[in-house]
Amino acid sequence: MGQQRGEVPPIRGNVPGSYAEGVFRDRHPVLVRQVRDALPYSPDRLQALDRLLEEAIADKMQPLDASAHDFRTWLSWGRPYLRGRWTDAPFLWAESYFYRRLLEATGYFDDGPWRGVDPFEPFKRAELAGSVVDEELASLDAVAGLPGPEKETALLLASLWGNRADLTFQVMGELGEEKSADLVADDSALLWSLLHDRPPGTVCFVADNAGRELLPDLALIDHLLTRRLATEIVLHVKPQPYFVSDATPADVLAALDRMTAAPGQAGKAGARLRQALRSGRLTLRTHPFACAPLPYADMPDSLRDEFASAALTVTKGDLNYRRLVGDRMWPTDTPFSEVTAYFPGPVVALRTLKSEVLVGVDARTSAALDATGDAWRTTGTRALIQGRA
C-alpha cells in the first residue's frame, strides 16, 4: 500500500505562488464584486457582500451567523479553521466554505425576498443564451452521422472538454480559445468496456457545471439511454448554487429547454431526455453531501450505498476530481486506483486540469510537461479520463 492519505499534506492556499493562493487573493474578491453587481441587491445584502469582500481581502474567516440552519454542521466540519486565515485551512474546505458564506451574504437561505435566488443565475443565463451554444448544439447533427465508436468518442470528448466552460475561470478571463487535444491520462477504453461488456445497470453521473458543460453531458447521457448502455441514469447535481457554475436542478431544466428548442438532433435528444425524466429512466439527485467541504472518502453511507449499487459512476470536473482523489500534494505517479480504493464501485473521472492536484500520471510525463513552462495543471488546457473497475 502506498502513502496513506494522512501522510500526504492537504493542498492549502498558504504556499506563496501556489494556485490556491491566487484563488483566495485574486479570484474570490473579483467574484464577490461580480456577484454584488450582477443583481440589484438591497442595501442589507450589499453590506453583507462588502463584509465578505473585506474578509476575503484580509484573509480572515468569520463563522456563519449562529442563526444559520447549518451552523452546527459547519462548526463540526471546520472548528479548527474558523476565525483563522482562509489560506491556512485546507484548500478544498476553505473554498467550499467561501461559497457557503457567499450564499449567506446574498440571503439565499434567509426568510425574505432573496431566499432561493441563485446569485450566479445572471452568469449562467448569459452563457446559455450565447450563440456559441447554438453552434455546439448544431454539432450534434454531424455527430449523429458518425459510425458507432467514433460517435461515442465524440460524445465523450465533448463532455470532457465541456468542463473547460467553467465560469470561475471566465471570471478571470483565464480560458484561452485554443485547447490542446492531449490527455495526460486516457482510460476511455475502460469506460466503454464497463458500459459495453457488462449487463447494463444504473449509471451515476455526477455533474459539474451548468450550461456549456451540462449540454454535452446531457447528449452523452441521451446516448447511454438510447443505446441501452444503462438501465437508468441518476444525474447528481447540486442542491444549492456552488462554485459559480455548478449545476442545480433549475440549471438542468434550463439546459433541457435550450436543447429541446434547438433544431435537428439536439431538439430530438432534448425531447427524449424530458421523456426519460418522466419515465424514471433519468433521475435527478441532489444529495446534501454534494456541497460538503469534504473528500468523497468521507461520504455518508447513504451516498456510498448509491454508488455501490451503480454499474458505473462518472464524475465530472476538477472539483469532483479533487474530492475523489483527495485534494492533497500527491506525487503525480500515485496510482488512481490506490487513492480511490475506498470508492464502492467502478468509477471514471472526466476532468480538465484546473487545480494542482494530480495522480495517475507517470513522473516522466509530468516532468516533461513541467519543462514546457506552461501552467498545464491549472489552465484547463490539459485533461484526463481516469478510471478504476
- Which residues bind to ligand F1X, rule: CB under 6 A? 23, 27, 95, 163, 166, 168, 208-209, 243, 317-319, 322, 354-355
Contacts of 5 (CB under 8 A, 6+ apart): 297, 326, 328, 339
CA distance 377 to 153: 24
In what order do the strands lie in the sheet containing 347-352? Answer: 183-186, 383-388, 347-352, 312-316, 201-206, 230-236, 282-285
Measured from the CB atom, the residue of 136 and 318 that comes closer to ligand F1X is 318
CA distance 384 to 386: 6
| CA neighbor of 389 nearest in space, from 333, 339, 337 | 337
| CA neighbor of 231 nearest in space, from 207, 192, 205, 203 | 203
**Minimum distance from residue 357 beta carbon to ligand F1X (Å):** 9
Measured from the CB atom, the residue of 225 and 385 that comes closer to ligand F1X is 385
**Minimum distance from residue 324 beta carbon to ligand F1X (Å):** 11
Measured from the CB atom, the residue of 78 and 317 that comes closer to ligand F1X is 317
**Minimum distance from residue 7 beta carbon to ligand F1X (Å):** 23
Contacts of 145 (CB under 8 A, 6+ apart): none
Measured from the CB atom, the residue of 240 and 260 that comes closer to ligand F1X is 240
Measured from the CB atom, the residue of 114 and 330 that comes closer to ligand F1X is 330
| CA neighbor of 238 nearest in space, from 213, 270, 257 | 213
CA diameter of the chain: 59
Measured from the CB atom, the residue of 262 and 385 that comes closer to ligand F1X is 385
Where in the chain does DSSP place strands (E)?
183-186, 201-206, 230-236, 282-285, 312-316, 347-352, 383-388
Measured from the CB atom, the residue of 102 and 262 that comes closer to ligand F1X is 102
**Minimum distance from residue 241 beta carbon to ligand F1X (Å):** 13
**Minimum distance from residue 168 beta carbon to ligand F1X (Å):** 4
**Minimum distance from residue 279 beta carbon to ligand F1X (Å):** 30
Find out whether 314 and 348 touch, Cβ atoms under 8 Å: yes
**Minimum distance from residue 231 beta carbon to ligand F1X (Å):** 28
